[in-house]
Amino acid sequence: MNGTGSPVTRRAITVLIYLVVLVFVLPFYWMAVLATHDNASIYHFPPPLLPGGNLSANWTRLVEVVPVLRAMGNSILVAVTHTALVLVLASLVGYGFSRFRQAPGARWMWRMLLATIFIPGLVGLIPWYVLIARLGWIDTLWPLIIPGAANGFAVFWMRQVITQTVPTDLYDAARIDGASDWRTYWTVVLPLIRPGLGALGVWTFMGTWTAFQIPLIVLNSQENFTLPLAMANLNTLYGQDTAAVMLGSVISVLPIFVAFLLAAKQFMAGLTAGALKG
């Protein structure tokens, strides 16, 4: 029996996939369309399905009440810096756990790290806030960048990727060639784990970009707001201006789409890293 199925089955599966994609894409498309219309057109029946000509007016009203460019700059700074720190620290620590599994204390340190993954973040929110306040980081971007860079899940992810991707024979060959541990990481391990780094980078960037709770707690000044926090204020204070709210929502989600499209190949390769390993 042919494993690919009959032509009718393949067409039915293709149509089903397109329908599922349409269900997910249509709300975002409609949101982008509404961002180009005025409020009267939005509430008109039938609703508009094609782009309009009111985008510039909506943008003017949006920037009058929300510092969009400043908030986007803050979000870019936080997301890019935090993601870079997570990738560096997680890959280095994951490399250590993967290569030196027989080192004294490695087993119980690994168990302690795994335990941190299962502790809800809200449990330590109050002592975390007290620490941030004592460091003088309230109403700054530092609490959004530094604390979460040491990420238990990220270390676990990179350790698994390195273990499944880098064979021990390569470590032995590097040692014979006289390579240090750092050089082995840089020249042998790092090129092989790029798909895993790509997947972790996309995941971290998306989570950091959309973060709302921590910015809401630590940021007080509007000039320090990240984009989700600024857009939340827009939705709260100016919720009747639907066109401006839709435009703000498009601006908020557009960088995530762009980041995913640019790194989609690495993301998918990272998710399947080691899946074919015997």
Q: Residue 79: which pLDDT band, with cuts at 50, 70 and 90? A: very high
Instruction: Let me know whether 149 and 264 are in one domain.
Output: yes
Regarding predicted confidence, which is higher, 154 or 120? Answer: 154
Q: Which tens digits make up the pLDDT trace of 2-61?
A: 555 678 888 888 889 889 988 888 888 888 998 898 888 888 888 888 888 888 888 988
Instruction: Let me know whether 68 and 87 are in one domain.
Output: yes
Instruction: Let me know whether 67 and 149 are in one domain.
Output: yes
Neighbours of 116 (CB within 10 A): 14
- Compute the distance between CA of residue 116 and CA of residue 123 in angstroms, rounded to an integer: 11
Instruction: Let me know whether 184 and 253 are in one domain.
Output: yes
Q: Residue 91: which pLDDT band, with cuts at 50, 70 and 90? A: very high
Instruction: Let me know whether 139 and 259 are in one domain.
Output: yes
Instruction: Let me know whether 76 and 17 are in one domain.
Output: no
Predicted confidence at residue 154, as pLDDT, reads 93
Give the residue-averaged pLDDT of 204-220: 91
Instruction: Let me know whether 112 and 141 are in one domain.
Output: yes
Regarding predicted confidence, which is higher, 72 or 263? Answer: 72
**Greatest Cα-to-Cα distance within the chain, rounded to the nearest angstrom:** 74
Predicted confidence at residue 175, as pLDDT, reads 86
Structural domain boundaries enclosing 192? 61-271
1 falls within a domain: no
CA distances from 93 to 30, 172, 189 (A): 44, 20, 13
Assess whether pLDDT exceeds 80 at residue 230.
yes
17 falls within a domain: yes
Assess whether pLDDT exceeds 90 at residue 135.
yes
224 falls within a domain: yes
Predicted confidence at residue 277, as pLDDT, reads 46
Predicted confidence at residue 276, as pLDDT, reads 43
276 falls within a domain: no
Give the residue-averaged pLDDT of 121-130: 86
Assess whether pLDDT exceeds 70 at residue 72.
yes
Radius of gyration of the chain (CA): 24
Predicted confidence at residue 93, as pLDDT, reads 93
Predicted confidence at residue 132, as pLDDT, reads 94
Q: Residue 239: which pLDDT band, with cuts at 50, 70 and 90? A: low
Instruction: Let me know whether 262 and 215 are in one domain.
Output: yes
Predicted confidence at residue 238, as pLDDT, reads 54
Q: Residue 275: which pLDDT band, with cuts at 50, 70 and 90? A: very low
CATH assignment of the domain containing 255: 1.10.3720.10
Instruction: Let me know whether 240 and 116 are in one domain.
Output: yes
State how many domains the chain has: 2
Give me the chain's average pLDDT, please.
85
Print the SS3 string covering the chain: CCCCCCHHHHHHHHHHHHHHHHHHHHHHHHHHHHCCCCHHHHCCCCCCCCCCCCHHHHHHHHHHHCCHHHHHHHHHHHHHHHHHHHHHHHHHHHHHHHHCCCCCCHHHHHHHHHHHHCCCHHHHHHHHHHHHHHCCCCCCCHHHHCHHHCCHHHHHHHHHHHHHHCCHHHHHHHHHCCCCHHHHHHHHHHHHCHHHHHHHHHHHHHHHHCCCHHHHHHCCCHHHCCHHHHHHHHHHHCCCCHHHHHHHHHHHHHHHHHHHHHCHHHHHHHHCCCCCCC
Q: Which tens digits make up the pLDDT trace of 163-204?
A: 988 888 888 888 888 888 888 888 889 888 888 898 898 889
pTM of the complete model beyond 0.75: yes
